[in-house]
Chains A and B, each alone.
Chain A
């Protein structure tokens, strides 16, 4: 449904995105994750045909976004990051206008505007001037106009930024439900959000894709590093040196425990190695009591930090080849 082919965009000499390629299947929700300035918005602007790529191209519903821009744009619903709206129009007037310029007939419009207003829970505000709405309601109007013409592809740029927590939850639910009928690209710099909403995640940093996977796999495929939590009853001074002796351990962090008769440690181990067996043996050999031994998956947050902050240190980020 969406196919980006080697998209590169320069602003002057500055490369905002370089060599971006990915595709999104029908009915899929793709998360676009990256810190501010990673090139998320630029990619969205290119996909929706607002700015042309410096090289490469994209196809929306089979139409080339550069060559067949008008046809491609018919299949897109777009919510830019800033949620631009005409401040002095009423909500339903605005929606009618947006529907008209997307070629909807007046009978279609009548039906859809009320449907969308209901779906986004704007009923009470359908005649309110947009300039008087709060940020959360403006966001809903923004989403309403994006889905109004029932586009195949929805592009939502940071749809939950700047709205209050209750509305964030509602908005996420709404987005997730939209995924049943539309193909979505949702950008965000909030990790839990992406893992909650999306079927698949692309992590982008400095204009390049650094990882692609589904949110639960992302941990495994990226776990160059694994972590283990261990709880041992015994003298701390003796435990630490023994644990450090175990082959394949990178670092040990002692986690303070309140009221427990045991000590808790978080141990970082080498790539792809499961040292739980060795750790258990070491504990038993010393006559201590083992309370807990558990592998800790890496949270998306940590992966993200690794990828985006320590990216240079990683020899070859997985997923870059795709």
Chain B
């Protein structure tokens, strides 16, 4: 447990003291800001964060891998993984510790978007329920995206490769529902069940479906497990 805290603290400190995470955060805020303005300035705009959260989760697909890409890839490239793994530390502590740090970073970035919410409340009278559910969806989706990013980072010593692999996996999970119309019956249902986007639109409409929550948490668990396994097998290569 102390190992976990030590690793999380070190990585969080690295995030907040180096520019790369701020750049990712700034990109995120600029992009979501632009689409927020489009969304609220159209005629008969709805006082809510629905448009914002839809776009935010779309950008997360590209930005989450940029946050996680260095976590394990850099350790492999610099060789620091050798010192980390010859210390009395378990692989799961390394993976989970780093993951929690990236989650903190993402939450920090996402929490800056609260000022959009503030604007909406200042000028309008939105339903609070959908705002909360939309943010819950954002956080869950972000958590899942970071876990997939972790796996990408564990697979390669090259950060670019790590980010590209993670983005590819995330895109598949996001848009796989588009191909469900090509098949029918159980196969179509299965494909829809795998998709993140179908579930995310429920959250932004104000629906908190327990199965959606379980789905995202399962993605987190599965991909963190795969990352741990991937790290363990590095020893055997």
Q: Do A and B come from one complex?
A: yes
Instruction: Let me know if A301 is at the binding interface, CB within 8 A.
Output: no
Residue contact A73 to B83, C-beta cutoff 8 Å: no
Q: Which residue of A lies closest to B81 (CB)?
A: A84
List residues of A (79-121) whose CB comes within 8 Å of B's CBs.
Answer: 80, 82, 84-89, 93, 97-98, 100-103
Binds A, one of B1-9, B25-33, B126-134, B186-194: B1-9
Q: Which residue of B lies closest to A69 (CB)?
A: B88
| Nearest-Cβ distance from residue B48 to partner chain A, whole angstroms | 41
List residues of A (30-78) whose CB comes within 8 Å of B's CBs.
Answer: 45, 48-52, 70-71, 73-74, 76, 78
Residue contact B79 to A101, C-beta cutoff 8 Å: no
| Nearest-Cβ distance from residue B8 to partner chain A, whole angstroms | 11
Instruction: Let me know if A145 is at the binding interface, CB within 8 A.
Output: yes
Residue contact A48 to B6, C-beta cutoff 8 Å: no
Bound form: Cα–Cα A18–B235 in Å: 19
Instruction: Let me know if B183 is at the binding interface, CB within 8 A.
Output: no
Bound form: Cα–Cα A52–B85 in Å: 12
Collect the chain A residues with CB atoms within 8 Å of residue B3's CB: 100-101, 103
Residue contact B82 to A101, C-beta cutoff 8 Å: no
Residue contact B88 to A88, C-beta cutoff 8 Å: no
Binds A, one of B10-18, B141-149, B210-218: B10-18
Collect the chain B residues with CB atoms within 8 Å of residue A45's CB: 82
Collect the chain A residues with CB atoms within 8 Å of residue B88's CB: 70-71, 73-74, 101-103
| Nearest-Cβ distance from residue B76 to partner chain A, whole angstroms | 10
Instruction: Let me know if B125 is at the binding interface, CB within 8 A.
Output: no
Q: Tell me if B's interface is mostly helix, strand, loop or mixed.
A: helix
Instruction: Let me know if B78 is at the binding interface, CB within 8 A.
Output: yes
Other-chain residue from A50, A70, A73, A101 in contact with B7 (beta carbon distance below 8 A): A101
Other-chain residue from B10, B14, B81, B86 in contact with A78 (beta carbon distance below 8 A): B86
Residue contact B18 to A88, C-beta cutoff 8 Å: yes
Collect the chain A residues with CB atoms within 8 Å of residue B122's CB: none
Collect the chain B residues with CB atoms within 8 Å of residue A48's CB: 86
Instruction: Let me know if B118 is at the binding interface, CB within 8 A.
Output: no
Residue contact B78 to A97, C-beta cutoff 8 Å: no
Chain A residues near B (Cβ < 8 Å): 45, 48-52, 70-71, 73-74, 76, 78, 80, 82, 84-89, 93, 97-98, 100-103, 145
Chain B residues near A (Cβ < 8 Å): 2-3, 6-7, 10, 13-14, 17-18, 78-90, 235-236
For the complex of A and B, the 8 pairs showing the least CB-CB separation, nearest first, are A84-B79, A100-B6, A84-B80, A48-B86, A73-B88, A74-B88, A82-B79, A101-B87
Not counting A78-B86, A101-B87, a sample of 5 additional A-B residue pairs whose C-beta atoms are within 8 angstroms of each other reads: A49-B85, A73-B86, A100-B3, A101-B84, A101-B88
